[in-house]
Chains A and B, each alone.
Chain A
């Protein structure tokens, strides 16, 4: 075919640019096959592997970030829960303290009341005992004084002890009577 073409060219006509010479076809095929072979067998698999690694690395990074975020979230929640618990605890303590304080005050008040009453009671009994002692001492003294006085007045010694004490007793009974009368009338 190329022989014919050269003949045609030699006759003064240009070759048909649409008719390919065989050697050029072969070289064209060879040139392309070289490129295809290198790219398909070696270089593109290389880059595909790396692209895959990169994709995994990026996705791994995203996963890590997600994990970190979840952890941060949980820590935050924990912290919030702890804070709420602490607040609750503080409120409870305050409440308790208040209650304790109130009971303490009440107790102290009750104690004070009791002590006051005790003191008052003690005072009363002391007074009663004192009065009793005073009354008996007074009774003795009055009896003696009255006896002395009566003796002086009568001028005679009242020898008879039994009579004497009866007289005194009578006198004192009369005194008591008048005293209780006076108290009742009061």
Chain B
């Protein structure tokens, strides 16, 4: 490893340009944390991302608890904001993709998914925390697996075994000779690749976003020496620009994740073609 995994914050490196010190570039080590409790080798341990994940849950529940615990017909400010978010997911995503009648059942799941992912992403730009929990594959993977299990079981429940098989393989008689090949590709694409891409899409976006932020942050610190100060200024501007961009990407990726979730559920409920 190029740097001590514990020294993930830029100023901890105490290394500047013209000091005969190499640029401490961010890398995979930036995504590893010494456990706060226990040891990495143990079966049970507790690290920063876990803390942030649980803390994020508490924040989401706290927010919605404050907003929806005793909701009023004429809403207060907080309730209005929470309602706007809730309504956006419910009408804008669930009703749009699955439909009002069948979608109503999945609204709580999709709303929870959206706000959970958004919160986990938001940690990226929260001072002190400054780490997107979703840039650790475990968290997106768990969520993608929940959706995957729901999707597969819904498909079997709705179409029976043969129907579900046809649904997964995109069975279509008109394809003729190409049908077996198409079925194999569809089968892999749907059952194996889909959950993987679903999780990795979110993970990779947040991973890359965090790396970019780290890069410019570390560079701002590293360049802060002698003539390099001019470059440090540019780099710092990039930190601000990228932070704003990340703010956008965080919401977008949460949106994309739940939109895909709804599309999968809709595909499971729809009549196979």
Which stretch (A46-54, A146-154, A166-174, A176-184) binds chain B? Answer: A46-54
How many residues belonging to B are interface residues under a CB distance threshold of 8 Å?
53
Does A67 make an interface contact (CB < 8 A)? no
Does A162 sit at the interface, judged by CB under 8 A?
A: no
Does A65 interact with chain B (Cβ within 8 Å)?
A: no
With an 8 A cutoff between CB atoms, is B69 at the interface?
yes
Contact residues of A: prevailing secondary structure:
helix
Residues in B neighbouring A53, C-beta threshold 8 A: 73
A31–B86 touching, CB < 8 Å: no
Indicate whether A28 sits within 8 Å of B43 (C-beta atoms), given known contacts A35-B115, A46-B69: no
Enumerate chain A residues within 8 angstroms of B70, measured Cβ to Cβ: 46
A50: which B residues are within 8 A, CB to CB? 71-73
Assembled-state Cα–Cα distance A54/B80 (Å): 13
- B11 surroundings in chain A (CB, below 8 A): none
Q: Is the CB of B65 within 8 A of A38?
A: yes
In this complex, how many residues of chain A approach chain B with their Cβ under 8 Å: the count is 38
Report which of B32, B82, B146 forms a contact with A32, defined as CB distance below 8 A.
B146
Contact of B112 among A21, A22, A27, A39 (CB under 8 A): A39
- Complex contact B64–A23 (CB within 8 A): no
Q: Which residues of B contact A175 (CB under 8 A)?
A: none
CA distance A44 to B69 in the complex (A): 9
Q: Known contacts A14-B28, A24-B50, A31-B116; is A40 also within 8 Å of B108 by CB? A: yes
Jot down 29 A-B pairs with beta carbons below 8 A, ordered by A: A9-B1, A12-B1, A14-B29, A14-B32, A15-B32, A20-B137, A24-B49, A27-B50, A28-B138, A31-B116, A32-B57, A32-B112, A32-B113, A32-B146, A36-B108, A36-B112, A38-B61, A39-B112, A40-B109, A43-B61, A43-B64, A43-B68, A43-B69, A44-B107, A44-B108, A46-B68, A46-B69, A50-B72, A53-B73
- Seen from chain A, the residues whose Cβ lies within 8 Å of a Cβ on chain B are 2-3, 6, 9, 12, 14-15, 17-25, 27-32, 34-36, 38-40, 43-44, 46-47, 49-51, 53-54, 57
